[in-house]
Amino acid sequence: MNADVGNSDIVFLLVLACLMLTIHGVAVLVIAGIFHWVDNKLENKQVYGANFLSYFIA
């Protein structure tokens, strides 16, 4: 089967977009994990919206 996709710039853009989405996903998970870790370390457990805040900042 011929899998020619034509212009090589399209393939480069596709790979770049996938790489950027992967990096963004990892960054979101890391930032959310740090916020959850900090939230668990806080003495005051009455901090509401920490989950929303962590994902909003990420």
Residues 16-31 have pLDDT tens digits of 999 999 999 999 888 8
Overall pTM surpassing 0.75 (yes/no): no
Q: Which two tokens stand for residue 23?
A: 């990096």
Tell me phi and psi for residue 43, to 5 degrees: -75, -40
d(CA 36, CA 41): 9
pLDDT at res. 9 = 81
pLDDT at res. 51 = 63
pLDDT at res. 25 = 92
Long-range contacts of 22-26 (CB under 8 A, 24+ apart): none
Q: Which two tokens stand for residue 27?
A: 């960054």
pLDDT at res. 17 = 96
Residues 31-55 have pLDDT tens digits of 888 877 877 776 666 656 666 666 6
Tokens 């370390």: give the residue: 41
